[in-house]
Amino acid sequence: MDIYEAIEKRYSVRDYAPKDVDDDKLRRVLDAGRTAPSARNLQQWKFVVVRDAGLRKELAHLSDQPWMASAPVIVAVVSTKPHRIMHCNVPAAPVDCAIAITHMTLAATAEGLGTCWIGHFNQHPCKQLLGVPEQMQIIEMLTVGHAAGDAKVDKPRKEFDEVVCVDRFA
Ligand SMILES: Cc1cc2nc3c(=O)[nH]c(=O)nc-3n(C[C@H](O)[C@H](O)[C@H](O)COP(=O)(O)O)c2cc1C
């Protein structure tokens, strides 16, 4: 699958089949995150792979999203240095981690797996549950698994000219 096909095919999967994710596939997905670019190549991240059913259920509960527990894998993407600000006055951690997650979502699509970003979760109890050190932060979580239903075809997006302008902001 080429990159454009993966971009087109990726969508948020919120219902997963009761089928485990193959270790090799998951390894390739995580490796796509590991090899992502980051500011100054500092790679200040850690990917906590949650397969344990009890922990997944608890993460789903702490995120107020019960469907999450149906995913056989939840990856918590942790920034090990969450408060670093880049020269442009923008925090590095969410940018770096979002790139890694994007790599993982597209690799997962190429592997025939579905994913969904999870930004709606309770930070402190999720950190405690997974033993994430206090000074670190879970930036996002990612559910991974085999989609239970048909692929979503409708992807509502703004029109090209509404989001792209040339030379000057308009
Ligand atoms: C940073 C971020 C956080 C998100 N958090 C959640 C979430 O907590 N729960 C959820 O169901 N979807 C979540 N999503 C998925 C978005 O709702 C979804 O990507 C968007 O509606 C576009 O749909 P698509 O992914 O199917 O193209 C999140 C997406 C991003 C990028």
Nearest-CA residue for ligand 1 atom 18 is 12
Nearest CA among 93, 80, 91 for reference residue 46? 80
**123-147: per-residue pLDDT in tens?**
999 999 999 999 999 999 999 999 9
Report field, pTM of the whole predicted structure over 0.95: yes
- What is the topology classification, in CATH, of domain 3-163? NADH Oxidase (3.40.109)
**35-79: per-residue pLDDT in tens?**
999 999 999 999 999 999 999 999 999 999 999 999 999 999 999
Can you give the residue ranges of every domain in the chain?
3-163
Six token digits for residue 67: 């469907």
CA of 118 to the centre of ligand 1 (A): 7
CA of 156 to the centre of ligand 1 (A): 13
**19-42: per-residue pLDDT in tens?**
999 999 999 999 999 999 999 999
CA separation for the pair 127, 63 (Å, rounded): 12
